[in-house]
Amino acid sequence: MAQLAREQVTVTRELKGRVVLITGAAGGLGAALCQRYAAAGAKIAALDLDAAKLDTLTTSLRAKGTEALALPGDITDPSACKAAVAATLAHFGALDGLINNAGISHRSLLADTDSEVIRRVMEVNFFGAANLTQAALAQIVERQGFIVAISSVAGFSPLTGRTGYTASKHALHGFFDSLRSEVEGAGVGVTIVCPSFIRTGIGTAATDGSGAPVSSPRITSGVESSPEEIAERVFEAVAAGQKLLLPDATARKAWWLSRLAPGLYARIMKRRVGGEFSGLF
């Protein structure tokens, strides 16, 4: 614990005045990450589609003495990602860290899912992160900064009724693990974060197979973490240079069980979340 405290003090000092760009920043985990990095002295570039909520967030950050820039934009548009990075550099003069947090989900069996729903989930969760990372990469390499990808337990294991979501998170792992092999020699850290369930809006904002909002509540497994708890663990993991963060007990159990006994894991997962889908058994 003392060692961790010393590491956090050091990183807090290093982050003072550094610039961190966070996507999906207007609420949930994104907003908690903005608050956590701001508390460490970082300057915040906050990117989200929801301009009104983004303004509320950045106003709150500025009231606490943080330099904050609101960046309304769509990460699925490569040109918008380039513009967001350019605006960050124009405003702050640097970019030291990127946290790819924005994401969407669907809850529907593949047989009941329009192909456009899967395409949209992939566009936001995978291509959005890839677009912005590519746009920011040269600057982050120059600053020997860090990149974070917020994945999920679904990034390393199956999840019934979320084929498109799971595919998008698996893709993140291949992309960012490979990117790490390209940039770690230049002093850039790449951290993949795999939480289980967080009390954010992603569950209520999920779509069904037609693209309409889901009407039924999601079924969860284990204890839901608060956005603030996960933001703190992300902060600590990046500070420690971790490559993979399993920030809660459910995520850690899922990691080991899915590797040591994948058949058992699949049966347990299907039993716990399969009740959302009639006719599955």
Residue 248 in any domain: the answer is yes
- Name the more confident of 101 and 208: 101
Check pLDDT > 70 for residue 12: no
CA distance 29 to 138: 26
User: Looking at 165, 176, 235, 277, which residue is catalytic?
Assistant: 165
- Note if 37 is an active site residue: no
Would residue 65 be called left, alpha or beta, if left means φ above 0 and alpha means ψ between -120 and 50 degrees?
A: left
pTM of the model: 0.89
178-214, pLDDT tens digit by residue? 999 999 999 999 999 999 888 765 555 677 776 777 6
Domain with 134 in it: 2-276
Query: Which residues, in sequence order, are CB contacts of 64 under 8 Å at separation 6+?
Result: 38
Residue 281 lies in a domain: no
- How many domains is the chain built from? 1
Q: Is residue 268 one of the residues assigned to a domain? A: yes
Q: Give the start-end residues of each E strand in the chain.
A: 19-23, 43-48, 68-72, 97-100, 146-150, 189-193, 244-245
**CATH assignment at residue 186:** 3.40.50.720
